[in-house]
Amino acid sequence: MDIKKGLVQVAEVSTFTKRVFRDFFFPPYEVKEIIRQCFMMGNKSLFLITFTSFLVGIVFTKQSRPSLASFGAESWLPSLVAQAVVRSLGPLVTGLICAGKLGSNIGAELGSMQVTEQIDAMEVSGTRPFSYLVVSRITATTLMLPLLVVYSDILSLLGSFLTVNIYNNTSFQLFFNEVAVNITYTDIFSSLIKSAFFGFAIGLVGCYSGYHSDKGTTGVGKAANTSVVVSMMLIFVIDLLSIQFINLFR
């Protein structure tokens, strides 16, 4: 990609983002559509997040246990898992799953609407498609990601508890007491805020690629693909930046 084209794209994304904020704060407010999108997005991702988060909890515990056992520090397992899951694994796994599941869906859906002139049809009938299609979706991903991360954290911890319980016969109360003691409010809030940024990035990239998709069926495929690839990259970048930022408060 040449530099000029890249700079034009950066300018377009900036204008797009500015418009998202402007339309979010000014009427018409798309409350009904936002609620519908939140439900759809939560519903779509729930099974995959349940499945992967539970397994992540089990796998991480099984992999960490031998290392801790060699130091005689097996009792630290709940605190290690809790910190890893809440601080990093939960948001990252959920973010990546949603980038694949929701990002591709948004990119393909809006891309297909663009190709078949449905967005133009909304535009010429004066129905303000930007707030209806774009602002509602970005708001929904921004709101839903933190909720899905909380859900994912709980399931990973349950998976971890199950593994610990099988090996050491640790009680549910003891395990979660250890978890609670070792998790700070900074961990929880930073994780939630980071997840909201993940959600915003997924929604923004998906909507931008779909809304500006090239004509033709390849345009739709490209929009879906770009949504996934770029939002996954952004998730890692946001994760890195957030760690730098949060460490200032620890």
In angstroms, give the least distance from the CB of 137 to another protein. 13
Q: Phi-psi region for residue 213, left (φ > 0), alpha (ψ -120 to 50) or beta?
A: beta
Q: Is the dihedral of CA 53, 54, 57, 60 positive or negative?
A: negative
Residue 39 CA to residue 61 CA, distance in Å, equals 32
Query: Of the listed pieces 57-65, 118-126, 230-238, 241-249, which binds another protein according to CB under 8 A?
Result: 118-126
Task: Give min distance, CB of 120 to another protein, in A.
Answer: 6
Does the protein bind another protein through residue 120 (CB under 8 A)? yes
For tokens 């805020």, what's the residue? 193
**CB closer to another protein out of 70 and 125:** 125
Say whether residue 76 binds another protein (CB under 8 A): no
User: What is the H or E stretch that residue 122 is in?
Assistant: helix 118-124
Q: Which of 31, 124, 180, 240 binds another protein (CB under 8 A)?
A: 124
Instruction: Determine the Cα–Cα distance for residues 133 and 14; give it in Å rounded to an integer.
Output: 18
Whole-angstrom Cα distance, residue 36 to residue 48?
20
DSSP 113: H
Residue 43 binds another protein, judged by CB under 8 A: no
Q: How far is the CB of 128 from another protein (least distance, A)?
A: 7
Q: Which of 29, 59, 62, 128 binds another protein (CB under 8 A)?
A: 128
Residues 10-39 that bind another protein (CB under 8 A): 28
Judged by CB under 8 A, does residue 121 bind another protein? yes
The pair of three-digit structure tokens given for residue 116, joined into one six-digit string: 């078949």
Site residues (vs another protein, CB under 8 A): 28, 109, 113, 116-118, 120-128, 132
